[in-house]
Every structure is written in structure tokens, then in C-alpha cells.
Amino acid sequence: MFHIGPFSYSFKKNVQSDSLVRKIYSDDQILILDKELVVMTGPSGAGKSTLLQLLKGIIPEYSAGDLIGEITYQSNPVAGSYFKKNLKRILFLFQNPYSQLIYPQVEEEFFFSMENFNFTRQEMDQKKEELKELFDLDCLMDKNSKELSNGECQRLVLASLMGTDPEVLLLDEPTAFLDPKARLRFYKWIKSIKGTKTIVIVDHHLDEIIPFADKIIHISGEGRVTTGMPLPPSISENTSLKNFSISQQNEIELAINNLSFHYSQHKPLFRDISLKILSGEVVVIKGENGKGKSTLFKIVAGLLRPVHGKIQIKNSRGVLPVKKHLKEIGFIFQNPESHFFYDTILEEFKHVSKSEDIQSLLKLFLRDVDCSRSPFLLSEGEKRRLSILITILQNKNILLYDEPTFGQDEISKNLIVDIIMNLKKAGKIQLIISHDEAFIKSIGAFSYSLENEQLVRVKE
């Protein structure tokens, strides 16, 4: 089906420069056969998403850069005149599912891909019946698209794509935002369709996906594309935060008091939940997709108003007025691009404390990335690490992390764990939304589950 290489793909170092930097390459020809299940591995930022976009033809069709060599599908180039011919054959699930939403209503969004390819209404309704149980669509159809959690959005976009009966599925981190139950359902589904379609998938849950893969394509940190399972990464002295420190802060307390919220009066997300968190405590909020975890964080951060209840912050001088809450709270959003405002990575730190060596931290967090580049051109994993760094250097006393480990390799996850443990020692309050059980265990957090409209303590 796909013939990859020998090839190399390079892009401009930055907007002002004419010099090119090699991103990914292969010195050999790599084949993806008809109806194979291929898992793509490699460190965060190595170029996995770039290779998927090359297979789709997005690069070089819609992206600047220099592609030398050939990448073909059924013996034809994936770009140029064949790009349009392959639109229905080769479907792509982006790492950030919100980038594929078009319509404000979920049902309109679900039918869009099929309408675009001239399916009849009868055919579309039949596809809806076939897919609704698999992707748990019934609970989504009456929603507004902007109300969807990332996990719900992933399910919706994937169901919409599957409705068109593609030949090839290119899936970029399809389980990144799924809760454990939804992730197991997804892998069960992948196993059930294996052998009926060509599937290329990027996924960091390798223990769960590798056992039924037909082939592994690995991209090294230097961008070399090869086949076969790589050696496990080694943690070096250059990937630790042992010299990173945050000054000790005064005692602080965060109280969630009798909080209730709903988007629809007939469907409350949660009712009368309360929680008190003290200095130096790390709390993880778990729960199935769409149960209100991100909404709860937005209320704590002051971005949404609760239907009932209040958020209270207290320090050594007493209870703070609500208008001062913003100075105390740093929010690491689920979509890291919400943090970016400037043309270059370095400019993003204009208004951040200069007490730390930002250059050395950037080298640690982003490795060899040129910091004169736009933050929007980073990989999703790199964007996430940059958004964490921007937020923690603002030296806020309360930090909210919404899925901090999505798109991260093991070295990057260890780096994020180091950050959280350093901030814990400094007395920061940290609230985290995560489905990553290994990560949760490594930070020694108190865990709660948002279920049945209540916040329930999870027994260790």
C-alpha cells in the first residue's frame, strides 16, 4: 500500500531564515502492506505526527518544507493530483481532536464527513446505528460541540471518519484523552477491525497496542525512520531537574464548598461537592470522559460560574476576595495552544519571572528545538511541556493541570513528575486531571473520582 523512502523531509529553521533543518528521514525503503496494523513509536517531538501527515499527503500539499525522495500509496504520489483522490480512502485523526470540529452541534458534526462524500440519508442513518453503541454516541448527540470533553471529541471525530468506510486509518494518539474504560473499548475495536483496513497508529500505551501489531515503525530522537522495536530509553543526568528549585511559600488553603453545575437543567454534571486542599498537597481527579472534570477546573480557576456553591482561598492573612483568586491560580489547559500569544517560543516568557535560567530549562523541556520558532509549530507533546513551563514559572501558589502527560514519552513523563515533586516540596497546591495510573502512583497523590455527580475519595 505505502512505499516510504528513501526520503528526507526538512523545514525552515524559522520564519526569517532560509536555511532548512532535517526533520525526519530514512535511508531505506519501508513498506506498509495492505490491511497491516502498524504502530509508530519514538520520543516526543521526534516526528511521528510529521510522518503521518506525509502518508496522508498533508505534507507537502499544505505545509512548507522540502521533501526529497518518494512516499507513495498504491504506487502513486500522496500529494498533487492524487491527494484529492485519496481524501475518502485515507482518513486522518489528528492528535488534537478539536482541530477537526466544524459544526456547533454534535449530530451535524457526525454526519458531515458522510454528507461530504454524498452518502444518502438512509446510508447515514444506517451508519449511525452501526456506530452509536461502539462509540457511545447516544449520550453525545444532544450536546453542543463546545461542551464536549477531549475524550468525547475523539470518539465523535473517529466515529464520523469511520462512517465513510475508509481504506486507511492514520490515527495520531487516539487514546490520549480516553478514560481507562473507553481506552479498553477502543483497543477491543481495533482488534475487531484488524485485517479489514490498513491502520497506522501513534500511541504511547505500547504495552496495550504492541501485542497485536503487525509491524513497528520507529523514529529516533534524531529523526531516523526504521522498522523494529527500539531499545528502551535511558534516563540521563541531562533529563533531570535536580538543580531546579522553587522558593518555599507561605501556608495556603483551597476550599471547594457545596459546588453544583449544569449546562442543561435536566443533566447536572455535579451537585454539592466539597473538597479542602492544603499547602503541599497533590490531588488527582479521575473519572470517565464527559463527567465534568475539566468543567470543575474551570470553575476553580474562575473561568465559569457555578450554579451553586463557591471557591474559597485562604492564606496566613485570611480569606482572599474573589477578585484576587486569579493571582493565585495557574491553569494548564487541556489544549496547550490556549497558552500561546507570541510569534516565538522565547517571546512567550516576556512576562514570566526571570529568576530561573530559562534557556537551560527550555533546552531540558524542548531538547534541541530552536526557540526562535513559533510555539504553534511544535509537536503536541512539546506544546504540552512548553505550556507547563510557562505556567510554573509564573510562580502561582495553586496549579491546575488538565491531562499533563498526554503525548509524552517516558523521559518527558519523568520530567513532569520531577516538576510536580519540586513544587510539592515548595508547598504549592496542585490539582491534576489524569487517566495515567503509573503517573498518578509516581507522584503520591490523593485521588478522587467524579462519578454519579459526586466527588468520591478513591481508596489506595
Domain spans, the chain? 2-232, 252-457
Rounded to an integer, what distance in angstroms lies between the CA atom of residue 38 and that of residue 217? 7
The structure's pTM equals: 0.77
For residue range 219-243, list pLDDT tens digits in order.
988 899 999 876 665 545 455 565 5
Q: What is the pLDDT of residue 429?
A: 94
Q: Are 283 and 255 in contact (CB under 8 A)?
A: no
pLDDT band at 399 (very low <50, low <70, confident <90, very high): very high
CA distance 422 to 401: 15
Looking at the chain, the number of H-run helices and the number of E-run strands are: 14, 21
Amino acid making up residue 70: E
Side-chain-side CA neighbours of residue 12 (13 Å): 11
Class for the domain spanning 252-457 = alpha beta
CATH superfamily of the 2-232 domain: P-loop containing nucleotide triphosphate hydrolases (3.40.50.300)
Q: Whole-angstrom Cα distance, residue 136 to residue 139?
A: 7
Over residues 290-318, the pLDDT tens digits come to: 888 999 999 999 999 999 999 999 988 89
Distance from C-alpha of 316 to C-alpha of 253, rounded to nearest angstrom: 9
pLDDT digits (tens, 9 = 90+) for 26-51: 999 999 999 999 999 988 888 899 99
Are 63 and 79 contacting, i.e. CB atoms less than 8 angstroms apart? no
- 131 band by pLDDT with thresholds 50, 70 and 90: confident
2-232 and 252-457: identical CATH topology:
yes
